[in-house]
A and B are shown apart, each in its own frame.
Chain A
């Protein structure tokens, strides 16, 4: 891990405020760490006109996918199902009708689709060199393709149009021990805040007292109008999503703290 402390935007409230006196600063702590897990998602499915066929296909495809991955005998690689879904798949005619803004015809000819995303997790990638990691990933992707798994998350919508980009990332690199990294980042954020506060105190010729308050996040900006666009599809990100990259590079754990320091008198006193 490479700890990096960055100087954040200095923000000082009214140093001698009417209701409370003190210095409020924003401290930022950032810890860069090499991802230790790589995750691939493969989808197995069975789609057919007859429900029985769809189930048979799904079972066969799932079994061959798992066998193919396990046959690689890659240390630290696990595969797990993340839940089976059963859907009514649309025929091509129905899809075309929808694209043209028409109601699709009856669904009696529609297919039944049974599918399950499989999560392939490889741990210990931080101990591998890039070459070895790439080689391992290629093996997994190859085995997945050989066994007919659709590797990578499928786009939920496809735009047929100019410059439409339908490529999707195959792997997600993730951090583990996020709590430890966060703890480091917190320490660095506090240290950063104290450093800034001391500097302000020195300039202001006051004595810095103990911390009287800490809040996570940036200070709200005054005199700025914020417009929030509601996006119903945007989901709350948890740590699992936050500390993830689709590129093989260091991932930054960043903590921003708003820290209030008290002022205990003038420097001359």
Chain B
């Protein structure tokens, strides 16, 4: 959902490519540009039933690596170093392709797991390791100068993976860090330099210089809080020391402060699309806040039919009455997918630019919709530079049994259909699920078969839907969410960060992939949703909807300052994960229906029928406030001092610090259920079950001439 994909709260944007060039010059890297690092390709997991007992999403299992690794652990525990290192020697770098369990549900690549265990050896083991492998490592390091860049990187990687504790390990890590930095993998670069500082006490590399490098990586990686903390640490630990950067002796603190200013300045001049969308919401919406425009996609007549259909349905309720369609924004356009009718609005004037079908085409379907066989949560829409992608159904097939959801591509400007998955022979019986993630000229999307829950991650070409590659991720467990006939496969959520793609299965697992989404980095397995065998399959006449259904609770995943926060759709736990280790930092209970909506410097914001602010550091509930929330579209706009929530009684403006009510702006949507809210350009946009409405908030510089009221001219 658009509301989750981008936080409204402002962040420092790195200035590319100027910033990178500056930093590269600073470090005066002798190493040339390196290719992308290799990462494990296969999905294989330690043989243990622990993860299976947690239920939910299951990844394929392979125990080939784990047996040898267990031998190593056993010998190491007995301080039998010779046997231990011999055992680990049987898993050379290129064989460390499986996945190994760390504990607490974390499953990481064998390469990473083995590295960590070796790095954490006691002093005696470390010394023994050096004796065993130092000569070999030095020999490999000396070869780097004689080979090309790609080969050099490969050797450095081998030294890092297999011989990190030797006298060559820190040099290899430093080289890899600089290479990662050069290609923009700031998190990875910072990790390499941190590894040297944390695990290589004998390194001759300058501590202060490594810390400065880390700080620069954090700065470009938008980890402002960590940067500030490190800057303070450097100032305290290395007073008066200088470092040689670019051939000059410089004060590290002054240098970093100056670089920070430069990055801030560059980010304010970022000319990319969406950069102008940097309005920061602040203050309350006064009663006289003008409406810029409104588009009503569910007409008054349609609403009557819709209500009639719902009122006469008292058994198998799927929550259609509180459903708010998904939307996304791009540039000055807003796209919405209303039960398969995709439409585009010009957000500067509220004009309907195009739609894939007539809105009233759905009217004849309303009577069937309340007990439709389709999973209404599966509709999705995203937009790229020139394309709009919708996960959708032909409105004529809304009520078909297990009708596969298609991926449809529309020209962004005209709405002309570019292609659809059902026309591609490979995908005729494939159901697309989860909001697609556009990466350059390709799209990453998950699918499952019409009658199975085997989830496959696919990279498709935006131009024609052709498949680049696919990868089987695992098998999900169907979930009984609504009061209807059948269980439904879970709908995964994606998050793209600078150096990773995360897929939240909403089925008991978080999967971390590399920046291209191709290679598996790690999996966090936790308790999955209850299976249908444990669930009630009977409902009563007029039984109220469960909150998870009424509120259309969705899983959400957010990242800030290098920490990933997530809550699955049918889970009752909120997680914080440090992906650089990776490890679970904390988790805390939350209502099953709760949706994580936003994160700012200090707090996480969660919505149910109330809004909650949770302290990021202590995980304590700072404040909570009950709101008249009745339906889907759970979202917040977190401004400088105010949090805004769109309800069926208006837009609530709450104090960010204590949740006290500053104002309720009734607005023009009191007939609706409330829904999504988002800052778009200088407008505050609300998407409800009937309308899309844009208001001119007080922070807008571009108001209508005379506080123009809603009229035929700006209403469609």
A interface residue numbers (CB < 8 A to B): 44, 46, 48-50, 52-53, 56-57, 60-61, 64, 67-68, 92-93, 96-97, 99-100, 109, 111, 145-149, 160-162, 164
- Min distance, Cβ A84 to any Cβ of chain B, angstroms: 16
Instruction: List 8 A-B residue pairs with CB atoms under 8 Å apart, sorted by A's residue number.
Output: A48-B591, A48-B621, A49-B591, A52-B621, A57-B621, A61-B625, A64-B626, A93-B530
* A148 contacts B649, C-beta separation under 8 Å: no
Residues of A within 8 A of B417 (CB): none
Within 8 A of A (CB), among B634-681: 649, 659-661, 664
* A56 contacts B626, C-beta separation under 8 Å: no
B86 beta carbon closer than 8 Å to chain A: no
Bound state CA distance, A53 and B621, in angstroms?
A: 6
* B628 contacts A146, C-beta separation under 8 Å: yes
Within 8 A of A (CB), among B602-655: 610, 612, 620-628, 649
Top-10 shortest CB links A-B:
A148-B626, A160-B540, A49-B589, A96-B536, A57-B624, A53-B621, A56-B621, A160-B543, A60-B624, A61-B626
Residues of A within 8 A of B536 (CB): 93, 96-97, 99-100
- Min distance, Cβ A204 to any Cβ of chain B, angstroms: 62
B235 beta carbon closer than 8 Å to chain A: no
* A147 contacts B626, C-beta separation under 8 Å: yes
Known: A60-B659, A67-B661, A164-B541. 18 other contacts (CB 8 A): A50-B589, A50-B621, A52-B621, A53-B621, A56-B624, A57-B610, A60-B624, A61-B610, A68-B661, A92-B546, A92-B592, A93-B536, A99-B540, A111-B591, A145-B649, A146-B661, A146-B664, A147-B661
Within 8 A of A (CB), among B516-548: 530, 534-536, 538, 540-543, 546-547
Q: Which residue of B lies closest to A102 (CB)?
A: B536
Residues of B within 8 A of A146 (CB): 628, 649, 661, 664
* A148 contacts B621, C-beta separation under 8 Å: no
Within 8 Å by CB of A145, from B543, B628, B661, lies B628
B572 beta carbon closer than 8 Å to chain A: yes
Residues of A within 8 A of B627 (CB): 148
- Min distance, Cβ B527 to any Cβ of chain A, angstroms: 11
Within 8 Å by CB of A60, from B543, B546, B625, B664, lies B625
B588 beta carbon closer than 8 Å to chain A: yes
B590 beta carbon closer than 8 Å to chain A: yes
- Min distance, Cβ B311 to any Cβ of chain A, angstroms: 14
Residues of B within 8 A of A93 (CB): 530, 534-536
Residues of A within 8 A of B625 (CB): 60-61, 64, 148
Bound state CA distance, A147 and B530, in angstroms?
A: 34
Residues of A within 8 A of B620 (CB): 52
* A148 contacts B541, C-beta separation under 8 Å: no
Report B250-279 CB contacts with A as 1/0, cut-off 8 Å: 000000000000000000000000000000
Q: Which residue of A lies closest to B654 (CB)?
A: A64
Q: Which of B534, B546, B624 has the most CB of A within 10 A?
A: B624
Bound state CA distance, A255 and B216, in angstroms?
A: 88
Residues of B within 8 A of A57 (CB): 610, 612, 621, 624, 626
Question: What's the tally of chain B residues with a CB closer than 8 Å to chain A?
Answer: 33
Residues of A within 8 A of B534 (CB): 93
CB contact under 8 A between A160 and B623, given known A48-B591, A50-B588, A100-B536 = no
Bound state CA distance, A223 and B135, in angstroms?
A: 117
- Min distance, Cβ A140 to any Cβ of chain B, angstroms: 15
Q: Which residue of A lies closest to B652 (CB)?
A: A146
* B623 contacts A100, C-beta separation under 8 Å: no
B interface residue numbers (CB < 8 A to A): 530, 534-536, 538, 540-543, 546-547, 572, 588-592, 610, 612, 620-628, 649, 659-661, 664
* B628 contacts A148, C-beta separation under 8 Å: yes
* A64 contacts B621, C-beta separation under 8 Å: no
CB contact under 8 A between A49 and B621, given known A68-B661, A96-B536 = no
* B664 contacts A53, C-beta separation under 8 Å: no
Bound state CA distance, A48 and B620, in angstroms?
A: 13
Q: Which residue of A lies closest to B623 (CB)?
A: A60
Q: Which of B530, B540, B628 has the most CB of A within 10 A?
A: B540
- Min distance, Cβ A100 to any Cβ of chain B, angstroms: 6
Residues of A within 8 A of B624 (CB): 46, 53, 56-57, 60-61
Residues of B within 8 A of A99 (CB): 536, 540
Residues of A within 8 A of B530 (CB): 93
- Min distance, Cβ A154 to any Cβ of chain B, angstroms: 13
- Min distance, Cβ A161 to any Cβ of chain B, angstroms: 6
Q: Which residue of B lies closest to A99 (CB)?
A: B540
- Min distance, Cβ B408 to any Cβ of chain A, angstroms: 36
Bound state CA distance, A223 and B543, in angstroms?
A: 48
Bound state CA distance, A67 and B664, in angstroms?
A: 14
Residues of B within 8 A of A100 (CB): 536, 538
Q: Which residue of B lies closest to A158 (CB)?
A: B544
Bound state CA distance, A148 and B612, in angstroms?
A: 14
Q: Which residue of A lies closest to B609 (CB)?
A: A148
- Min distance, Cβ A46 to any Cβ of chain B, angstroms: 7
- Min distance, Cβ A193 to any Cβ of chain B, angstroms: 52
Bound state CA distance, A2 and B543, in angstroms?
A: 46
Q: Which residue of A lies closest to B624 (CB)?
A: A57
Q: Which residue of B lies closest to A46 (CB)?
A: B624
* A162 contacts B541, C-beta separation under 8 Å: yes
Q: Which of A44, A48, A162 has the most CB of B within 10 A?
A: A48
Within 8 Å by CB of B542, from A68, A149, A161, lies A161
Bound state CA distance, A48 and B612, in angstroms?
A: 11
* B540 contacts A161, C-beta separation under 8 Å: yes
Bound state CA distance, A39 and B621, in angstroms?
A: 33
- Min distance, Cβ B144 to any Cβ of chain A, angstroms: 54
- Min distance, Cβ B702 to any Cβ of chain A, angstroms: 30
Residues of A within 8 A of B590 (CB): 49
Q: Which residue of A lies closest to B629 (CB)?
A: A148
Q: Which residue of A lies closest to B593 (CB)?
A: A92
Residues of A within 8 A of B659 (CB): 60, 64
Residues of B within 8 A of A97 (CB): 536
Residues of A within 8 A of B664 (CB): 146
Bound state CA distance, A60 and B654, in angstroms?
A: 12
- Min distance, Cβ B300 to any Cβ of chain A, angstroms: 24
Bound state CA distance, A43 and B624, in angstroms?
A: 16
Q: Which residue of A lies closest to B572 (CB)?
A: A49
Bound state CA distance, A100 and B590, in angstroms?
A: 26
Residues of B within 8 A of A111 (CB): 591
Residues of A within 8 A of B610 (CB): 57, 61, 148
* A64 contacts B628, C-beta separation under 8 Å: no
Bound state CA distance, A53 and B628, in angstroms?
A: 19
- Min distance, Cβ B122 to any Cβ of chain A, angstroms: 39
- Min distance, Cβ B605 to any Cβ of chain A, angstroms: 14
Bound state CA distance, A147 and B626, in angstroms?
A: 7
Q: Which residue of B lies closest to A162 (CB)?
A: B541
- Min distance, Cβ B164 to any Cβ of chain A, angstroms: 42
Residues of A within 8 A of B660 (CB): 64, 67
Residues of A within 8 A of B592 (CB): 92
- Min distance, Cβ A32 to any Cβ of chain B, angstroms: 38
- Min distance, Cβ A118 to any Cβ of chain B, angstroms: 13
Bound state CA distance, A109 and B534, in angstroms?
A: 15
Bound state CA distance, A52 and B664, in angstroms?
A: 28
- Min distance, Cβ A106 to any Cβ of chain B, angstroms: 13
Residues of B within 8 A of A92 (CB): 546-547, 592
Bound state CA distance, A250 and B67, in angstroms?
A: 86
- Min distance, Cβ A207 to any Cβ of chain B, angstroms: 68
CB contact under 8 A between A160 and B588, given known A52-B621, A100-B536 = no
Residues of A within 8 A of B543 (CB): 160
Q: Which residue of A lies closest to B546 (CB)?
A: A92
- Min distance, Cβ A44 to any Cβ of chain B, angstroms: 8
Bound state CA distance, A100 and B540, in angstroms?
A: 10
Within 8 Å by CB of B541, from A53, A149, A160, lies A160
* B542 contacts A160, C-beta separation under 8 Å: yes
Q: Which of A44, A60, A99 has the most CB of B within 10 A?
A: A60
Bound state CA distance, A252 and B262, in angstroms?
A: 81
Bound state CA distance, A49 and B592, in angstroms?
A: 10
Residues of A within 8 A of B547 (CB): 92
Q: Which of B621, B622, B626, B649 has the most CB of A within 10 A?
A: B626
